[in-house]
Amino acid sequence: MQQFQNYVLGNWENGTGVETTIYHAITGKEIGSVSSDGIDFSEVLNYGRNIGGPTLRKMTFQERGRMLKALALFLMDRKERYYEVSAWTGATKIDSWIDIEGGIGNLFANASLRKQFPDLPFYVDGTAAPLSKNGSFIGHHIMVPKEGVAIHINAFNFPVWGMLEKIATNLMAGVPAVVKPSEYTSFLTEVVVRDIISSRILPEGALQLLVGLGRGLIDHAESCDVVTFTGSAETGRLLKAHETIISKSIPFNLEADSLNATVLGKHASPGTKEFDLFIKETVKEITIKAGQKCTAVRRIIVPEEFIEAVQKGISERLSSTIIGDPSAEGVRMGALATKTQVGRVRASVEKLMASQDIVYGDLDRFDVVGADKNSGAFFSPILFLNVDPFNKTACHEIEAFGPVSTLMPYKNLDDAIAIANMGKGSLVSSIVTPNNKEAVDYVLGAASMHGRILVLNADCAKESTGHGSPMPLLTHGGPGRAGGGEEMGGKRGVLHYLQRTAIQGHPTTISAITQQFQVGSEMPEANPHVFRKHFEELVIGETVFTHKHTVTDADIVNFANVSGDNFYAHMDATALEGTIFEKRVAHGYFILSKAAGLFVDPKKGPVLLNYGIEEARFTKPVYPGATIAVRFTVKEKIDQEKRSEDDIPKGIVKFLVDVYDETGETVAMATILTMVKKRS
Ligand code: NAP
């Protein structure tokens, strides 16, 4: 019998004995076993902290992003093997696609986030805060990687996605991971981790895997670590209240089960495109992954006048959903992951039956195609009807983690919102309506109790990613019962693994720390001009002090002619009464354009192009007669990878353009973005 292995302390290791025997979800045949018994969890966590952490922390966000991209490409090339193994979990091709390619997609999405981070191992958060009258003392925030490990305890339903969506963020942040997937499906995680380790794309110690129960792992967590948990609310609560978590103030991100609701709007009556969309989307959310999705629709809330039509529509569609071996022709829904799950879902359904009626499906009588019903972990889709959702509340409390959902009526939208909110906090909810007023009212009424809300109508349906799919760039996580956690979330997800520290001091010191120029810092004069220097030679803070220009009426008229901007404040001195202007004022765009004329060194050199302007402000009116000049300072540098062999080696340089007048006061400020060639 194959023993799936743990990857710890740089080696593949068997645990002692057998903690769990693994069975094929379709055939019921024994596949192997897992165990993490006997492994010293304290050493595992220390290995991550001492071996993986230091290397990751030295890398910049750009390097970590490129590492994730390389890993994503590497895994994508090997995905066929993951599909083969995923089939053992009872998954259809689409179910596996969500898990495997959805997971790899998370690596790509996080890799792309590098563009939102500096070319540094740490992040500079926000802008400087002025803390003194004369500007010699300022405050800022940096966020450095935590010096611990990310401990991920994951649910059984997404053995690949569950790991990849989590490690993508901690690796991007520069923190190593120890992953403990559920023992029921960790064999698939193991196959992927084998490839990750053999690729040598991640530094050693950046990723360790425990395939068994891992009980006691949290006992060894330290305050520098972060624990994430994805699973049932019950286990989540238990672990969140763990003595170690509380006594050491260890961040604990809880992603628990939730009783997600979908609402049919009153305007989506039978016969509308939205009504059909609602039926289709709801059935998809009941049957995909055989309902083993934390975001699956558990409650279906519909106007009372449409309840029969909805029940009929869903039942008809469910009856054409063939259950069985996903490799058999026509099969649309596979098995649950294990027979243990069958027992658990059945027990939950039986509890729900005490207060509501099954209107579609049967616990025992259903057909299975291409497999032996009794050997595999099969389960029929079950649709309940609860006509009194305010008083019969089991459907708002019990999560049957399978293809099980409850239909319930509402009278008006306020009732629909109240029923949805009776889930006491959910990951996701959706409303299907062609009417934006109804959508607005629902979203504002339900938002405080939901981590994500999908508004579906015919205009977005074709490109909609659906009720059940969390997106890597959005924060996925819900309040209350759903755990109050946050995961993924684009840049926000990465920040979760960084420690924010406020730093206070002189602007020159803060510039040195943040490696970004802060106003008030020393500005050594650039010699030669910064446009004559290659990327590597530019130093943060070095400044070109330009010659001066006195603004004239002719400048204003000429600029109005060139641009066609004849706004009265520039052109009509008689129209200024009641405005803040004392005289015809120069165009702000003229000031910036003239600034370019002053700061540009025109000869061909390392500066390849200027590709944009950020944070442009016109801070003081400039009238004819004023004399302006520019302080042009290297503000920030971001290294760039070559996109192809023949790409020019270059980096991005941000320059601060500070235009000031004869009083020394700033009249306009902007950051320009340039691409500058590297010497090598
Ligand atoms: P579970 O029984 O709560 O287990 C979740 C994870 O916790 C598993 O890896 C489990 O390990 C581990 N675990 C349990 N007791 C532990 C302990 N004392 N110490 C350390 N680890 C412990 O959940 P599940 O049955 O795997 O997953 C299904 C549930 O997850 C559903 O309720 C679903 O809604 C929820 N879920 C939520 C999300 C979300 O994002 N909110 C996503 C997916 C799933 P073993 O399995 O090895 O015992």
pLDDT given at position 490 = 87
What is the CA 230 to chain-centroid distance, rounded? 15
Tokens standing for 109?
Answer: 């999405």
* CATH level 3 topology of 41-120+146-256+492-498: Aldehyde Dehydrogenase; Chain A, domain 1 (3.40.605)
The two domains 41-120+146-256+492-498 and 260-470 share their CATH topology (first three levels equal): no
Percentage of the chain with pLDDT > 90? 94
**Mean pLDDT, residues 422-433:** 97
Mean pLDDT of the chain: 96
pLDDT given at position 500 = 96
* Helix locations, 243-379, DSSP H: 243-247, 273-287, 307-319, 339-352
Per-residue pLDDT reduced to its tens digit, 472-503:
888 888 999 999 888 778 898 999 999 999 99
Domain range 506-677, CATH architecture: Roll (3.10)
pLDDT given at position 454 = 98
C-alpha–C-alpha distance, residues 3 and 14, integer Å:
7
Q: Quick count: other Cβ atoms within 10 Å of Cβ 572?
A: 11
Residue 48 contacts residue 205 (beta carbons within 8 Å): yes
Highest average pLDDT, of 110-124, 468-482, 609-623, comes from 609-623
Select the CATH number that applies to the domain covering 260-470 from these four: 3.40.50.300, 1.10.287.110, 3.30.70.380, 3.40.309.10.
Answer: 3.40.309.10
Ligand 1 neighbourhood includes 95 CB (under 6 angstroms): no
What angle is formed at CA 376 by the lines to CA 97 and CA 235, rounded to 5 degrees? 70
Per-residue pLDDT reduced to its tens digit, 176-209:
999 999 999 999 999 999 999 999 999 999 999 9
**Mean pLDDT, residues 630-647:** 91
Predicted model pTM: 0.92
Residue 183 contacts residue 211 (beta carbons within 8 Å): yes
pLDDT given at position 475 = 84
C-alpha–C-alpha distance, residues 498 and 123, integer Å:
8
Q: Using CA positions, which residue lies closest to atom 20 of ligand 1?
A: 215
Q: Using CA positions, which residue lies closest to atom 1 of ligand 1?
A: 231
Q: Using CA positions, which residue lies closest to atom 10 of ligand 1?
A: 182
Domain segments of the chain as ranges: 41-120+146-256+492-498, 260-470, 506-677
Q: Provide the pLDDT confidence category of residue 115 given band limits of 50, 70 and 90.
A: confident
pLDDT given at position 18 = 95
Catalytic member of 190, 274, 294, 395: 294
**Mean pLDDT, residues 19-32:** 96
Q: Using CA positions, which residue lies closest to atom 22 of ligand 1?
A: 215
**Mean pLDDT, residues 505-509:** 98
Cis peptide preceding 528, ω within 30 of 0: yes
pLDDT given at position 13 = 97
Tokens standing for 423?
Answer: 């889930």
pLDDT given at position 639 = 87
Using CA atoms in the order 560, 565, 570, 575, what is the torsion angle rounded to 10 degrees? 130
* Residues 6+ away with beta carbon under 8 Å from 297: 260, 261, 262, 282, 285, 286, 405, 430, 467, 468
Cα(3) to ligand 1 centroid in Å equals 22
Q: Provide the pLDDT confidence category of residue 632 given band limits of 50, 70 and 90.
A: very high
Answer yes or no: is pLDDT of 326 > 90: yes
Q: Provide the pLDDT confidence category of residue 529 given band limits of 50, 70 and 90.
A: very high
Per-residue pLDDT reduced to its tens digit, 383-394:
999 999 999 999
pLDDT given at position 462 = 96
Whether 243 sits among the annotated catalytic residues: the reply is: no
Ligand 1 neighbourhood includes 161 CB (under 6 angstroms): no
Instruction: From 22, 161, 232, 426, give the residue whose CB has the most ligand 1 atoms within 8 Å, as the site to mutate.
Output: 232
Whether 255 sits among the annotated catalytic residues: the reply is: yes
pLDDT given at position 486 = 80
